Amino acid sequence: MSDLLETVRSLAKKTDTKIVLVVLDGVGGLPLELNGDTELASAITPNLDTLAQDSQLGLVELVGAGITPGSGPGHLSLFGYDPLKYVVGRGALSAVGIGVKLNTGDVAVRGNFATLGAGRVIEDRRAGRPSDEKNAEIVTRLKAAIPEIGGTPVEIYTESEHRFVVVFRGQPGEPLGANISDVDPQITGVAPHVAAATDPASEKTAALINSFVARAEVALKDEPQVNGVLFRGYSDVPHFPSFADVYQLDAACIASYPMYKGLASLVGMEVLPVEGHEDALDGKVKALQDNWDKHDFFFFHVKKTDSTGEDGNFAEKVHKVEIFDELLPQLLALKPDVLAIVGDHSTPSKLLSHSWHPVPLLIHGGHGRRDAAARFTEEEAQKGTLGLRRGTDVMPLLMANALKLNKYGA
């Protein structure tokens, strides 16, 4: 546990105040042309503008200088957990995100369906991106074909498109290790790698993985496209101190996508059901309203600001920011004591990927000083009273602004 997290834990107290942490996934951006406007600066955001003028602003770097965060490390940092110290594998995230409970000794693995050609050469690492329905159909076939391997129960879960999750259940006295090399070579034109254990405790798991790969190919041999599986991201069960333990918060997660629900669940948040498809912003607002009296912390996740950046669609990312702007009054109407808006990393349309650039942070409510930041943009946030900080500073600042932290020392 990082020093600050441990200190915050020793100072946290229960109060009646409520905190809403809005994460606009990947919201930080870049200008398309040198010295131009970013996506945030290009968006027309009357509500965010007004809010920014009455808020504390700053910038946060989630992992460290120049480091591009994955979604896991980005969110863990925002939740106050040093992402260089608290590491969670994608397999565990995915499993928890779809509601699968992992126990000590289990290993969760992230899988991709792939298209294999002659000689098992990988032709498409995503099997032509099958529909979710096709994915579910293939998973059903695999479940029937591989219910267990040598006595170890095997669970297979559909995720979306080419993605699925396998959980190998460790048996009493025989915990499975998760230190195994990737089956996925991450390139096409070669055969899948044979998984190898990198420590003795993982040898049984590596054998299970290789057996799974072979049996899946037999089971899917008549499929033209979805006829192979690739694995990477093996994880055993991470144990994090919970939000309740560290912050004395009864925290709820309002998110649509498995990974974010999984992360929230790992730190002990209650994952609230959200009605609707994809980003389901209306469903998320409704979940917030319906559960307002039941929790004192809400993690409210907005996904499309990231996806549009990953697609390289500047205009559409601008639009997604504007859609959030329109929704903002409904969040404010609930009168949270502290409302924060931040990103878990930048996803500039220009780069079509996550990036290392700091993201703006806005804290409304609480107890702040005037600053010159007039908009929720990267450039204005630089004028903010909060300065440039690590992502792990966000939770302590929210707790402080909600008057939920005792004094340190006499």
Residues 99-138 that bind a second copy (CB under 8 A): 110
Q: Is 30 in the site for a second copy (CB under 8 A)?
A: yes
CB closer to a second copy out of 206 and 263: 263
The total of other beta-carbon atoms located within 10 Å of residue 354's CB is 23
Contact positions with a second copy (CB under 8 A) in 243-282 = none
Name the segment binding a second copy (CB under 8 A); options: 32-40, 115-123, 163-171, 277-285. 32-40
Can you tell me which of 26, 73, 130, 228 binds a second copy, judged by CB under 8 A? 73
Cα distance between residue 183 and residue 230, in whole Å: 6
Minimal distance, residue 92 CB to a second copy, in Å: 10
Residue type present at position 190: V
Bridge-partner residues for 57, per DSSP?
Answer: 362
Q: Is 309 in the site for a second copy (CB under 8 A)?
A: no
Can you tell me which of 17, 53, 181, 313 binds a second copy, judged by CB under 8 A? 53
CB closer to a second copy out of 130 and 360: 360
Minimal distance, residue 330 CB to a second copy, in Å: 22
Q: Is 400 in the site for a second copy (CB under 8 A)?
A: yes
The angle formed by the CA atoms of residues 330, 79 and 82, to the nearest 5 degrees, is 155
Name the segment binding a second copy (CB under 8 A); options: 101-109, 181-189, 206-214, 366-374. 366-374
Residue type present at position 53: Q
Bridge-partner residues for 234, per DSSP?
Answer: 109
Cα distance between residue 409 and residue 386, in whole Å: 23
Q: What are phi and psi of 59, to 5 degrees?
A: -130, 145
Minimal distance, residue 300 CB to a second copy, in Å: 20
Tell me if residue 60 falls in helix, strand or coil. Answer: strand
Can you tell me which of 27, 52, 69, 168 binds a second copy, judged by CB under 8 A? 69
CB closer to a second copy out of 84 and 332: 84
Can you tell me which of 14, 44, 46, 87 binds a second copy, judged by CB under 8 A? 87
Minimal distance, residue 388 CB to a second copy, in Å: 4
- Could you tell me where the DSSP H helices lie in 109-221? 132-145, 203-219
Minimal distance, residue 216 CB to a second copy, in Å: 22
Q: Quick one: which of 217, 231, 211 has its CA closest to 141?
A: 217
Pairing of strands 19-24, 338-342: parallel
DSSP 147-164: SEETTEEEEEEEEETTEE
Please give the structure tokens belonging to residue 258: 């498995």
DSSP state of 78: H
Neighbouring residues of 177: CB distance < 8 A, sequence distance ≥ 6? 107, 197, 199, 200, 201, 202, 203, 204, 205, 236
93: left (phi over 0), alpha (psi -120 to 50) or beta: alpha
Name the segment binding a second copy (CB under 8 A); options: 98-106, 279-287, 292-300, 389-397. 389-397
Can you tell me which of 13, 72, 128, 193 binds a second copy, judged by CB under 8 A? 72
How many residues in the shown chain lie near a second copy by CB under 8 A? 72
Can you tell me which of 21, 22, 57, 93 binds a second copy, judged by CB under 8 A? 93
Q: Are 54 and 369 in contact (CB under 8 A)?
A: no
Can you tell me which of 34, 118, 187, 218 binds a second copy, judged by CB under 8 A? 34
Bridge-partner residues for 168, per DSSP?
Answer: 107, 154
Name the segment binding a second copy (CB under 8 A); options: 16-24, 82-90, 173-181, 212-220. 82-90
Can you tell me which of 149, 196, 323, 351 binds a second copy, judged by CB under 8 A? 351
Minimal distance, residue 67 CB to a second copy, in Å: 5
Q: Is 388 in the site for a second copy (CB under 8 A)?
A: yes
Q: Is 370 in the site for a second copy (CB under 8 A)?
A: yes
Residue type present at position 180: I
Name the segment binding a second copy (CB under 8 A); options: 146-154, 203-211, 282-290, 384-392. 384-392
Contact positions with a second copy (CB under 8 A) in 230-249 = 233
